[in-house]
Amino acid sequence: MQSDWCEVLIMCYKSQPLVKFSSTGSVFRDKCHEIATYWLFEHFIFGCIVVNTLCLALTWYDEPEYLERILQPINFAFNVAYTIEAGIKLTAFGTDYFRDGWNKFDITIVVAAWLGMLAS
């Protein structure tokens, strides 16, 4: 059991990024890459996910109308933030964006969220 753990640890230490970035010559695309990989950007998006989860937990069947009026623009703002995040990452990474499973998951959630908003 401990040897398995050690093997996994060694594998993690030896792992490399999926894609290595090289400057494209496009100031806009390079700036998007700088933003997308900046630690503060990642922490901001994580914070949005946590707060959005809390807001989604506040909803229930037959909730008061005033709560729905408060949460609806907040959810819209989160959708905009996630769309901007996906746009920045798509611009920065190009087709390599889809090599990461988390990015595929993110773009699926963004599209589903907009479809859900349009349907309601």
* pTM > 0.75: yes or no: yes
- Tell me what pLDDT residue 16 has: 63
Q: Name the more confident of 25 and 50.
A: 50
pLDDT at 52 over 60: yes
pLDDT at 17 over 70: no
User: Which residues, other chains included, contact 89 with Cβ-Cβ below 8 Å and sequence gap of 6+?
Assistant: 32, 36, 97, 103, 106
In the predicted model, what is the mean pLDDT of residues 109-115? 95
Each residue of 53-89: pLDDT tens digit? 999 898 888 889 999 899 999 999 999 999 999 999 9
Task: Give the count of beta carbons closer than 10 Å to the beta carbon of residue 20.
Answer: 7
- Tell me what pLDDT residue 21 has: 62
Would you place residue 13 in the very low, low, confident or very high pLDDT band (cuts 50, 70, 90)? confident
**CATH superfamily entry for domain 26-119:** Voltage-gated potassium channels. Chain C (1.20.120.350)
- Tell me what pLDDT residue 113 has: 94
Q: How far apart are CA 37 and CA 68, in angstroms?
A: 35
